Chains A and B, each alone.
Chain A
Amino acid sequence: MKTAPDRLRLALVSPRYAAGAAGGAENLIQQWAEKLAERGHEIEVLTTCAKNHFTWENQFPPGPGRVGGVRVTRFPVNHRDTVTHQRVQDRIAQAKALTLDEEEAWLDNGVTSDGLIHYLEENSSRFDTVIFAPYLFGLTYRGVAAVPEKAVLVPCLHNEPFAYLKTTEKLFSAARAVFFNTPGERDLAHSLFTIPREKSRVVGMGVEPPEEINPRRFTRKYGIRRPFIFYAGRREEGKNTPLLIEYFRLLQSIHDPAPQLDLVLAGSGPITVPGRAGRFVIDAGFLEEQQKWNAYGAAWAFCQPSINESFSIVLLESWLAGKPALVNERCPVTLSHCRLSGGGLWFRDYYEFEECVLYLLENPELAAAMGEAGREYVRKNYSWKAIIGKLETNLGEIRDRR
């Protein structure tokens, strides 16, 4: 156990914790909590009793417990008026103007917990810093407002309609510090809000490969004989997977000769493959962790078509396997990863997608060098050693400057 002043006393607030099928922000909070606890810091996770992120039903018992060596205290989710929530959300999606009260009603009818906020107010003296993630939950909005002087916001910000709300700007302004996952996410936030430079920092999450990657195990299992472009993640419109399938179909059907490539999609959610495209689009389904790494290793390149990424862990994982990447130019985060690392190219329409693929096929040495540059970028900036070092330094400074 560390001794003061090295020892940090931290609360981490997340809408769900260790509830299975975690989203990016929940995963990040759990990883931070466990790694910081291992380093001897005093950690308490404050979360809700919810398990299902669609219903937000209170399924876990309230009160304190331990998960993975970390103290976790759960509180019931407030009653939610889902009709009001959905009505306002539809208006947000249509970019209609809302009053601050309407926006706050939308957040309050999303996910929040009066019990948790009350606990924070009562016990704030026990914590040096309180970390909140992600940004678009009432729990985060109300929590930061309850302890602004100690609040560190980990927004996991996307360029989406919710980012343009007045409440989002208010949240960013109220927090004492904001920790971003990537330089791209930080730049997006600075383009949307006025945030003093000294209160924003890039931290992120550690990404490390397994001890062994066995590409042949993956290709044998799925009978893959040609090089392939790989995608891993949720397969849905929001992640632009239908667009990737359509681009790939066009590439195979109109380019003469058709590139000797397949497209392999892994992850949750159904995929629809039109007509004859089924011959070169392979549905690998949900892959367990080792199999996913084997797939990265077997891939010719990785493609992340989504424009809603605040970190894109799969892109960083594919770089650790030494593969070049293709990303959507309209995602500031993945674009910035590619620009900073030299590990990927970007496209804004089909024509550029086609040309990127052809260029990499014509220049295999360049493709290999890009994969290597990506690997180096992740090793330098997103190893757990680097991340925990940044976290401890920044959190220590926030505490000491108060």
Chain B
Amino acid sequence: MNDAFQIETPGVDVEKVMAEIRRRVEAKRARGVYNQFSLADAGHEHDTIALKQGNEYFDYYLKSLLLAAEIDINDFEIASKSRFFGRPVVGLKKLIWKLLKFYTFRMFSQQRDFNARVAVILQGMDRRYSRKLAQLEDRIKSLDEDRS
């Protein structure tokens, strides 16, 4: 059968561009540029299938989880839908938020603590089972070799 799919299009090496883009992302990450912001949602894409697809995505999600564990209580915008009283409503909400901070901070700090523990435990489990799996695979390989 005839497939005849032509891929010879002129010139842009997008793989090279993507490598450069990823290098820039890593450099920014190393400089701590992203730490200034809580980007918990930024890596949050609802797709469980991707998790099934292999270690590459699992590692990526684990990295995202570690980044997102450090939640920031101030990372949202206080806004108002009111057309005429927008400013006073926002001011009132900000005042209430400040007054409640004494109570919410307790929950917030406990949540941060919990998140950090979950993230670290998951990372530890991944390492532990990856190591165990590698040992078992080696053992199967050596048994196969012995048998043949």
Residues of A participating in the B interface, judged by any CB pair closer than 8 Å: 95, 159-161, 177, 183, 198-199, 201-202, 237, 240, 243, 246-247, 250, 254, 274-276, 307, 330, 338-346, 348-352, 355-356, 359, 366, 369-370, 372-373, 376-377, 380-381, 390, 393-394, 397-398
A381 to B7, CA, bound (A): 8
Question: B92 an interface residue at 8 Å Cβ cutoff?
Answer: no
Which of B43-51, B101-109, B114-122 lies on the face that meets chain A?
Answer: B43-51
Question: B64 an interface residue at 8 Å Cβ cutoff?
Answer: yes
Instruction: For the complex of A and B, list the 5 residue pairs with the smallest distance between their C-beta atoms, beginning with the closest.
Output: A350-B42, A342-B12, A393-B2, A275-B79, A380-B6
Q: Are A351 and B42 in contact (CB under 8 A)?
A: yes
A95 to B36, CA, bound (A): 37
A349 to B39, CA, bound (A): 10
Which of B18-26, B131-139, B140-148 lies on the face that meets chain A?
Answer: B18-26
The range of chain B's interface size is: 35 or more
Q: Which residues of A contact B14 (CB under 8 A)?
A: 338-339, 342-345, 370
A-B CB contact pairs (8 Å), 14 listed: A159-B49, A201-B1, A201-B2, A237-B46, A254-B36, A275-B79, A330-B50, A345-B14, A349-B42, A350-B42, A359-B21, A372-B10, A373-B12, A390-B4
Q: Which residues of B contact A352 (CB under 8 A)?
A: 21-22, 25
A390 to B18, CA, bound (A): 32
Q: Are B18 and A373 in contact (CB under 8 A)?
A: no
Q: Are B6 and A359 in contact (CB under 8 A)?
A: no
Closest to A377 in B: B9
Least CB distance, A345 to chain B, in whole angstroms: 6
Q: B18's contact among A276, A345, A376, by CB below 8 Å, is which? A: A345
Q: Which residues of B contact A381 (CB under 8 A)?
A: 5-6
Residues of B participating in the A interface, judged by any CB pair closer than 8 Å: 1-7, 9-15, 17-18, 20-22, 24-25, 28-29, 34, 36-37, 39, 41-43, 45-50, 52, 60, 64, 77, 79
Q: Are A355 and B47 in contact (CB under 8 A)?
A: no
A161 to B49, CA, bound (A): 7
Q: Are A254 and B37 in contact (CB under 8 A)?
A: yes
Least CB distance, A203 to chain B, in whole angstroms: 9
Least CB distance, B75 to chain A, in whole angstroms: 10
Closest to B24 in A: A355
Q: Given A95-B48, A352-B25, A377-B7, list of 13 further CB < 8 A pairs?
A: A159-B49, A276-B79, A339-B15, A340-B7, A341-B7, A341-B9, A343-B12, A350-B43, A352-B21, A355-B28, A373-B11, A390-B3, A393-B2
Q: Are B13 and A342 in contact (CB under 8 A)?
A: yes
Q: Which residues of B contact A276 (CB under 8 A)?
A: 77, 79
A198 to B49, CA, bound (A): 29
A340 to B14, CA, bound (A): 9
Q: Which residues of B contact A345 (CB under 8 A)?
A: 14, 17-18, 21
